[in-house]
Amino acid sequence: MIAEPALYPWLQTAFDHLDALRRDDRVPGALLIQGAEGLGKRSLALHFAARLLCLEPFNPSPCGVCQGCHLFKAGTHPDLTTLEPEEVGKIIKVDQVRKVIQDLGLMSLYHGYRVIVIDPADQMNQNAANALLKTLEEPAPKNLIILVTHRPHRLLATIRSRCQTLSIARPKKDIALAFIKEKTTISSPERLLSSAEGSPLRALEMAEKGLLGIRDQRFEAFSQVLKGQEDPVAMAQTWAEESPFETLDWVLSWLLDLVRLGLSDEAPALLNEDLGEALKELIKGLDVGELIHYRDAVSGYRAQLETTANRQLIFEAVLIRLSALSPYQRVAQRPKVASI
């Protein structure tokens, strides 16, 4: 069953833009909704789909009472298809894409739009992406394919070029904090929002899973390894076993903040505001060029986590290379990076 799609406060402007396209009969054949994790991009896609399938054309939002809305809420509307991996973290296969493309050839039940929502679109493999591309090259009227992703760079450039792009920005801090305070009783909403890099839904997920404490532990270990006070190989086992994906996402954000601090003579805006003072201490003595190269490497390791590569070896490589950045360690004593 598809639940009533929530339109979060910070998405209203984006939805108004999309609905203006509907009213002016300028809905594109393909729409790419992109932005950071935890901003509600999927809910926006479904809310717009519900508006297109609603049988009341003059309402600013889905009416919720017509036959189209009833079918939508029940998850049985024949003109809506959602496409996602068969298992979390897996790829979207070419057969899945071919099936939904075949559905696009069917006549709409109410002679309106047929909508496909693909989320996360970046999980399509090469064959699946190529199959979709052929459809995007020759869009049919009243068909809309919505691609949702927080990693648009993983999509084929030819696919991106055939989509109208809608980028979702993080909400203003006061709006995000008001939302978090309404949804949770956590005692430190500001720090929670900072740890989620300003994404309210990601912040709520962290609160529900107790990830804020794990993130604090990871940052302490990150700092100790960088200062040469912790054995990187011993630490790798813990990182590989508990919250590995979140851990590398946090590391990437800390490294970006360190680079910003190293390149700016003034106080730059940081993703991790609550760690500002600690990061300022860490940047002392570090080489910014090496940090940039290291962050690129960690980004590659993050991608390897989604493969069958050995996680223990991935985190050993991450942490050994981190320890090699330490200003307290002589170059000649820097350990070798484990190969994966």
**pLDDT value, residue 327:** 82
Q: Taking residues 124-153, report their average pLDDT.
A: 92
Give per-residue pLDDT as tens, 269-300. 898 989 999 999 999 989 999 999 999 999 99
- The arithmetic mean of pLDDT across residues 254-282, rounded, is 92
Domain locations in the chain as residue ranges:
9-168, 210-333
**pLDDT tens, residue by residue, 51-75:** 999 999 888 889 999 999 999 999 9
The fold of 9-168 is Rossmann fold (3.40.50)
Residue 164 to residues 34, 89, 221, 271, 333, Cα–Cα distance (Å): 11, 26, 43, 28, 52
d(CA 30, CA 144): 6
pLDDT higher than 90, residue 205: yes
Cis peptide leading into residue 120 (ω within 30°): yes
Percent of the chain with pLDDT over 90: 76
Confidence (pLDDT) at 306: 84
Letter string b/e over residues 258-271, b meaning 16 or more CB atoms within 10 A of that residue's CB: bbbbbeeeeeeebb
Check residue 299 and give its pLDDT: 94
| CATH class name, domain 210-333 | mainly alpha
Residue 246 — very low, low, confident or very high, per pLDDT cuts 50/70/90? very high
Max Cα distance, the chain (Å): 73
Q: What is the pLDDT of residue 5?
A: 54
H helix runs in the chain, sequence order? 12-23, 41-53, 67-74, 94-104, 126-137, 157-161, 173-183, 189-195, 200-209, 211-226, 232-241, 244-263, 276-282, 288-304, 311-324
Joined together, the tokens standing for residue 185 give 């009783």
Q: Structure pTM?
A: 0.84
